[in-house]
Structure 1
Amino acid sequence: MDICHKNLEDKFFSYTDLIAVPIEENGEAMVMIDKTNGVRTFCLDPDMRSFTGSDIFVRDSVLKKLELAQSEIEMIWQGASLEVVYGYRHIDIQTGLFVNAKSDILKRNPKCSEETLNEQAHIFIAVPEVAGHPTGGAVDVRIVTKNGAFVDMGTAAHDFSKASYVFSPLISKETWQNRQLLRASMVKAGFAPYDGEWWHFSYGDREWAAYYRRNKAVYGQIKFCL
C-alpha cells in the first residue's frame, strides 16, 4: 500500500473508535425523500427495493439537513441538484456486505486475526453494529447539473477504490476542488463526512458523534421496511 493512502486511512475512524461511542436512540421518524424539497433521488441498490421499493428513506432531521445542503449546492452550481443515491440500508443487507468483505480479505490473508479483519473490512464496508446507513442517518450523494450531467468527482459513487478517498492524490485539481465544495456544503448543513468515500455523509450516528466529539449518538440501527 502506498504511504499516502495509508496516511489517509490512519485518519479514518476505526471500528474500535466507533464502538466506544454510546447511543441514546431518540426515536425520530423515518421519512421518504421526495422531489418537492428540491433534493433528487436515484436508488442505486436493487436489494433495497424489497424493503422500501425505489424510494429512499432517512430520519426526519437528515431530510431537513439535505434541504439545507441543497441550498448551498445551488449557490455553487447554479441550477444543480443534490442527488441521494442511498439513505437507509436494512441491517440484513449491511451484514451481508460486511461478511463478503471479510471473506475477500481472508482469502488474501488467511492468517489475519479477527480484530484486524474487522478493521480492514470496516474501511470500505462498516461493521454492522456501528454502520451509519442502518440508522437512517447516513446518505450517499452526488451532484447533478441543470443539464443532467454529474459534476466530476473523479470516480462514480460506490467506486470502492482508493481514488474515492476524499483527499486522494490520484485525482485532478478540478476534481479535488469539486469534492471539497461538496464536502463543505454538507458539513455546513450539519453532516459529518467520511473521508474514505467522497459521497458519504451522516448525521446522528456514531460517526457523526465521533467527528463532532459529541458524548453520544442519537440514532441506533433499526429494522425498517414498508
Structure 2
Amino acid sequence: MFRFSAALRTLAACTAALSALAAAPRPVQASPAPQAPKGFVALRDVAPTIIQEMRYFTPHNFVGQSIDGYRQPVCILTAPAAKALHRAQRTLLRRGYSLKVYDCYRPQRAVDHFVRWAKDLNNQRMQAEFYPRVAKSRLFEDGYIAEKSGHSRGSTVDVTIVKLPAKPTRPYVPGEPLVPCYAPKGERFPDNSVDTGTGFDCFDTLSHTLDPRIVGEQRDHRLLLKNTLEQAGFANLPEEWWHYTYKPEPFPDTYFDFPVSRRSLTAPR
C-alpha cells in the first residue's frame, strides 16, 4: 500500500510538472528576413567598376541617420537594370568617366522610415543641407516624400558621373556645419562626382534635370548622364537629375521589403 501511494504521488508530481511546462511562455522565434526573388543581383557582380556610395547606409542623408533596411552598403538591382548600367558604364569608361550610384533597390521599410521622419516636423537636423528653401511641412505636398517609391520595385537607381581617376570622398562627420546642396561645388559637401549644379537628394527645383538655370558645364554633365542612360534603356524622372528607372521593369507592380544585404540574395529559397 505504501509503495502504491508513493507511485501515485510521483505520477501526480510528473503530471503537475508537465502541466506547468505546457503553460509556461515559450520563447518567440524571430521571423526569417524576407528574401529577394529570383531576378535580383548585386551590381558589383555584374558591373564591378561602377563606384558605389550608398548614402542611406550612412548618416549623410536628409534624415541624418542610417535608414531602416540598409544592413550593408551594397547596390541590389533587378538583373536587367544591372546589365543596362553595365552597358552605360562601358560607354562612359571610353570617355574617361565612371558611373557612381547613391541608391538602388530600396526596401519598403526604408520608405516607411522616410514617411515617419517627414511627419516629425520637429526634426530639422539636416535641413540646412538638403532642403534649406522648402518647409518640411510641404515635403509630401511638393512630392519630395511619398508612401511608395519606384526604388522598391528594384529597377530604379540614383546615379551620377565621376571623372577618372576617381578621387576619394571624405566621410561625413555627424554634427559638422551644413552647406546648402545648391551652393557652388567648392563650398558644399565634397563629392568626387562631376558638377551637376546640386548635390544628390537636393530638395529644390534646381534639381529638375532640365532646369533652365543650370547652364554650361553643369548642364553638359546632366545631359551626358541622361543621354548615356537613355541609350541603355533608362528613363529619367524630370524632377531629379540623378533618378533613373530601367524600362520595361521586371516587377512593375511589386514593392519589395527584403533588406539591403547580400544575404537577401544568397540565403536558400
TM over 0.5: yes
Mapping of 1:61-140 within 5 angstroms?
A: 61-75=80-94, 78-101=95-118, 108=137, 120-121=141-142, 123-128=143-148, 131-140=149-158
Which residue of 223, 238, 243 maps to 1:195? 238
The one-letter code of the counterpart of 1:138 is T
Offset, 1:32: 0.8
Is the CA contact 1:155–1:164 (under 8 Å) kept in the aligned structure 2?
yes
Offset, 1:79: 2.3
* Structure 2 partner of 1:160: 203
The 2-side partners of 1:146 and 1:199 are apart by 19
1:144 is aligned to 2:154 = no
Percent sequence identity is: 26
SS at match of 1:45: helix
Structure 1, residues 119-165: CA drift from partner, whole Å, max 9, x if none? x25x222331xx21111111000111113242110111111211111
Q: Which has the higher contact order (CA 8 A, sep 6+)?
A: 1
The 1-side partners of 2:257 and 2:251 are apart by 17
The 1-side partners of 2:145 and 2:137 are apart by 17
The 2-side partners of 1:107 and 1:43 are apart by 24
The one-letter code of the counterpart of 2:109 is D
Structure 1, residues 146-195: CA drift from partner, whole Å, max 9, x if none? 13242110111111211111111332322112111211111111111001
Offset, 1:73: 2.0
The 1-side partners of 2:102 and 2:253 are apart by 20
SS at match of 2:244: strand
Offset, 1:35: 7.0
The one-letter code of the counterpart of 1:142 is T
The 1-side partners of 2:115 and 2:85 are apart by 27
What residue ranges of structure 2 are gaps of 5+ in the alignment? 1-36, 58-65, 122-133, 167-191, 264-269
Higher helix proportion: 1
Structure 1, residues 87-120: CA drift from partner, whole Å, max 9, x if none? 01110111221344466599757xxxxxxx85x2
Normalised to the residue count of structure 2, the TM-score between the two structures is: 0.58
SS at match of 2:55: coil
Residues 103, 195 of structure 1: alpha-carbon distance in 2 compared, 3 angstrom cutoff: farther
What residue ranges of structure 1 are gaps of 5+ in the alignment? 1-26, 110-116, 210-215
SS at match of 1:221: coil
Is the CA contact 2:68–2:110 (under 8 Å) kept in the aligned structure 1?
no
Moved more, 94-103 or 163-172: 94-103
* Structure 2 partner of 1:44: 55
1:222 is aligned to 2:256 = yes
SS at match of 1:64: helix
Normalised to the residue count of structure 1, the TM-score between the two structures is: 0.68
